[in-house]
């Protein structure tokens, strides 16, 4: 694991879950460190994924979970005709703008998770073939979100190494997310 998550305050389950979510968000953001726009939007592997596209995607997914939990429509309606748009920058979008949007979504998530009366509170997911019909808790939603972001953080590691051979650990040290160990 490129960064360690600080221990939660005893009894602060929300803080623990948000800490793990932020660690995975950080891995995705750090993958863009030091890259120019062409590199950030490049697709250096056989996959159609780019680092900027991954940031856009995880921001949309996180925002979507928040909307689902509150029974609100998603800001961007995605279906089979435009699904791929969440993986690439579109008209007017820049690397900086998708990073800023991701930060805004993260702040909103953190505030909502802190404000919900209980992580045991449930909500019904919208109708979709991949969603269960039974209500799900905010805890379940957070764990699902951590899993999704972690999966894409791994994708970001591979894409970044394909661009310039920088590893997640090197990016952690370069950005100051953790000190470089003295190997001597």
Long-range contacts of 116-120 (CB under 8 A, 24+ apart): 119/13, 119/14, 119/17
Under-50 pLDDT residues of the chain = none
- Say what the pLDDT of residue 27 is: 96
**Share above pLDDT 90 across residues of the chain, in percent, rounded to a whole number:** 74
- Say what the pLDDT of residue 1 is: 54
**pTM of the complete model:** 0.92
Q: Rounded distance, CA 135 to CA 132, Å? A: 8
Q: Is 10 helix (H, G, I), strand (E, B) or coil?
A: coil
């Amino acid at each position: 694991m490129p960064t360690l998550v600080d221990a939660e305050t005893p009894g602060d389950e929300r803080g623990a879950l948000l800490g793990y979510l932020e660690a995975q968000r950080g891995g995705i953001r750090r993958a863009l460190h030091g890259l120019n726009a062409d590199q950030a939007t490049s697709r250096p592997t056989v996959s159609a994924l780019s680092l900027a596209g991954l940031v856009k995607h995880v921001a949309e997914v996180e925002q979507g979970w928040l909307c689902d939990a509150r029974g609100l429509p998603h800001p961007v309606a995605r279906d089979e005709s435009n699904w791929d748009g969440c993986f690439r920058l579109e008209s007017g979008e820049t690397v900086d703008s998708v990073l800023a949007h991701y930060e805004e979504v993260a702040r909103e998530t953190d505030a909502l998770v802190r404000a919900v009366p209980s992580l045991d509170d449930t909500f019904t997911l919208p109708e979709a073939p991949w969603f269960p019909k039974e209500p799900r808790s905010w805890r379940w939603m957070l764990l699902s979100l951590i899993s999704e972001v972690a999966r894409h953080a791994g994708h970001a590691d591979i894409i970044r190494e394909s661009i310039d051979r920088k590893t997640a650990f090197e990016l952690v040290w370069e950005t100051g997310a953790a000190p470089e160990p003295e190997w001597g």
